Chain A
Amino acid sequence: MPGPELEERVNRKDGSSFEVVRLWALRLVVMTRKELLQLGRDVPLLLFLLYSFSLSVYISGAGIAMQLSNASLLVHDGDHSESSRELIHRFREPYFRFDGDVSDPKEGLARLDRGTAMVLLDIPPRFHESILGREPVTVQLQVDTTNAPQGLSAAAYAARIVGGFSFDLALSRLGAASNNQMPMPMVESAHRVWFNQDQDETWFQSISHILRMITLFAFLLPAAALVREKEHGTVEQLLVSPVTPLQIMLSKVLAMTLVILAATTLAMVTVLKPVFGVPIKGSASLFLLVTVLYTFTIAGLGLFAATVTKNQAQVGMIALLVIAPMLLLSGITTPFEAMPPWVQSLMALSPLRYYIDVTYGVLLKGVGLELLWDSILTMALLGGVLFGLGLWRFRRQFA
């Protein structure tokens, strides 16, 4: 606490500039402490914060698989032959789960209607005979595409399986005909998946969950804290005290950034590393530093929202207006490249868009500042502008 003598000396303006800075910082610290204490007394909120950065990260990391898995497959086998069984046998886990035979395709379609099955494979009668008789034959596939991407994915896997079956058949036939290992011209696919060889989805999902949580808390905590003071009228008390508008705003951002940083670290050391084994390839301190920058940016946005609203209900609505599109369209839930150009240019304004690149770059790809500096710079610029706008509005409203 600043002592009265110190206060007096500064007010008489005979203190050195060092004293002025010291006092300014001291006031900021006191205000930040006040914010932390106030947050600390809101027990339900704190418990929820803890849950959001621990258990909930685990649930979404472990629970969500957007890759096709266990698509329920029904088969109408009109042939019941060696060949048809071999083909059916190739539809297997993890992509497809064989859910039984149907004697009538209509029965299969009814189950697709009810949503208890996703794919119906129809093998025509005389399938085996046609193959032996060297006549081309076509199998039918019906796919439920109410969920378009999953349906497409299932169709692609099925096409791959049938294509493989057909190709093997052609090869064995040609091989048998010439009776030696005849070479065939073909393009084989060799894939190397970088940064996540096993395509372990828990890494992606758990990290993106943390990004969602950081975004939500970084917006809502400071915004609600500021608008609460407006609602209760305590902001006037603050303004007649020696603290400046900048200190009021900065203290809220500082306090909430500290909390969010602690929560992020918690999520990394309790869930990300030990449970999912996310390899933190780059420098963890760079990630945390960028997180601080990101939190500042989003908090600036939140404070700006707080200056245009009068009560917390309005802040909530503004948050939904701004945050929901950010979360859904910045590239953590859907592929960014596929979106229409106008959405892409709109999302160029979303700080999350850049934070995603930096986060995955540092944590999974292990790249550093030399490649990420442009994203970080853009984010810093956005943050500076948002924070400046918020401060300007806040000053104009109260000073």
Chain B
Amino acid sequence: MNLRRIAAVATKEWKETVRDRLFLLMAFLLPPLWMVVFGHGLVLDVEHVPFAVLDRDQSSMSRDYLYRFMGSRYFDYRGSVKDAREIDRLLGDTAIRMAIIVPDRFEEQLLAGRPVTVQTLLDGTFPLHADTLKGYVIAINHAFTQELLTSFLARTRGLGPEEAHRIAEPVSIETRYLYNQEVRSTWSMVPALIMFSMMVASPLLTALGVVREKETGSIYNIYSATVSKAEFLIGKLVPYFVISTINVVVLWLLAVLIFRVPFKGSFPVFLTASLLFVLCATGIGLIISLLVRTQMAALIITIIIAMVPTILFSGLLVPVSSLSPGAQMQAHLFPAMYYTDVVRGSFLKGLELEDTWTDLLALGGFAVVLRLVAYGLFTKRPKA
């Protein structure tokens, strides 16, 4: 190992990067831009669901019932229809996601103390929404029933409202939301977006590094130079490592200052994890760069490998524990998951070194293994 030769390779790579203005601009601009756009836009809460109603009863009670949906922020009222066939059309055209059908004699039956069934039609193309919607509808129906029962008991048995309520609802539940009291999806998304930006942008920066030299032939200068394999690989990484590290700090500042996500953990742990993760991400890019021959292949493979598992298997949207066993395995084979744990934990849960050392160890392991694989794949003797 010769530090001067590493510095020489790094300087050359750095100059090449810096002289490509658009590329350099993008390298620094993309991560914060993503953070702002996704931090605001990537809302996972099911809200403002467009719905229509078919009110066959047209009574004051049915209007009171339906008003509970119209007044809720979870639903967006899009009008009432006269005919069930119209619902078919609206659902098919995705103009609405849900329709509520109130049966005739709704008020009459309920006042007489008989149960009534309200039908809801849900668009099931996005099963998670359908499931969440069902929950909302059941909750609204439950609350409505609770009130009906209370007033019914008060009326028929001559009980006071307090007493009647106690009989109608003997057991209640009190829920506390930990770590994110207002259950803001921004707070869960923004820390994970640091992971996303690093995982998607850093490999691409590196991936084209070696393969570009292969495609243009300038790699032969390296083959014939005194620089050793390790020196070359380290030198290549330095500029991208520096760029990515700056980006991590910028993203952290954005999360804390602009999005006001509380950072409860320790900054050194966060930074260590981030540096290890940057090493992993750039390592993935480097390996792809060594495996393929053309920049086009490197570009496409890196973008897809970086983007798709990161969206699906990193815990960004779906917690790893609710994946299927096969997908969980894939998640564990990928460094992003461990880093997501550390980042979210550091921000929201205030985790310290003693809680996260296993994740750090895993990240370190990945960084080393990826480097070793890259070292093994790279050869200064081109195949004939």
B9 at the interface (CB under 8 A from A): no
Q: Knowing A59-B330, A327-B307 touch, does A316 contact B44 (C-beta < 8 A)? A: no
Contact between B113 and A183, CB atoms less than 8 A apart? yes
A195 at the interface (CB under 8 A from B): yes
Chain A 306-356 residues near chain B, CB threshold 8 A: 309-321, 323-325, 327-329, 333-335, 337-340, 343
Could you tell me the distance in whole angstroms from the C-beta of A341 to the nearest C-beta in chain B? 10
Contact of B184 among A64, A148, A156 (CB under 8 A): A148
A166 at the interface (CB under 8 A from B): yes
Contact between B319 and A221, CB atoms less than 8 A apart? no
Could you tell me the distance in whole angstroms from the C-beta of A102 to the nearest C-beta in chain B? 15
A201 at the interface (CB under 8 A from B): yes
Interfacial chain B residues near A337, Cβ < 8 Å: 47-50, 76, 97
User: Which bucket holds chain B's interface residue count?
Assistant: 35 or more
Contact of A333 among B173, B176, B317 (CB under 8 A): B317
Bound state CA distance, A144 and B321, in angstroms?
A: 13
Chain A residue at smallest Cβ distance from B116: A187
Contact between B178 and A156, CB atoms less than 8 A apart? no
Contact of A149 among B45, B169, B204 (CB under 8 A): B45
Could you tell me the distance in whole angstroms from the C-beta of A124 to the nearest C-beta in chain B? 10
Chain A 38-95 residues near chain B, CB threshold 8 A: 42, 44-45, 48, 52, 56, 59-60, 62-72, 87
Contact between B141 and A141, CB atoms less than 8 A apart? no
A216 at the interface (CB under 8 A from B): yes
B353 at the interface (CB under 8 A from A): no
Interfacial chain A residues near B219, Cβ < 8 Å: none
Could you tell me the distance in whole angstroms from the C-beta of A232 to the nearest C-beta in chain B? 8
Could you tell me the distance in whole angstroms from the C-beta of A358 to the nearest C-beta in chain B? 10
Contact between B110 and A185, CB atoms less than 8 A apart? yes
Could you tell me the distance in whole angstroms from the C-beta of A290 to the nearest C-beta in chain B? 15
Chain B residue at smallest Cβ distance from A157: B135
Residues of B bordering A, CB below 8 Å: 20, 22-23, 26-27, 30, 33-34, 37-38, 40-50, 65, 76, 89, 91-94, 97, 109-132, 134-139, 141-142, 144-146, 148-149, 152-153, 166-181, 183-185, 187-188, 200-201, 204, 207-208, 212, 291-297, 299-304, 307-308, 311-313, 315, 317-319, 321-324, 326-328, 330, 341, 344-345, 348-349, 351, 355
Residues of A bordering B, CB below 8 Å: 42, 44-45, 48, 52, 56, 59-60, 62-72, 87, 109, 112-115, 118, 131, 134-153, 155-160, 162-163, 165-167, 169-170, 173-174, 182-197, 199-201, 204, 209, 212-213, 216-217, 220-221, 224-225, 228, 309-321, 323-325, 327-329, 333-335, 337-340, 343, 357, 360-361, 364-365, 367, 371-372
Can you report 25 A-B residue pairs in the complex whose CB atoms are below 8 A from each other? A42-B292, A44-B292, A59-B330, A60-B312, A63-B327, A67-B128, A71-B322, A118-B321, A136-B169, A140-B175, A141-B174, A143-B176, A143-B178, A151-B177, A155-B175, A174-B167, A190-B119, A193-B130, A311-B23, A316-B207, A324-B34, A324-B307, A329-B37, A343-B40, A360-B94
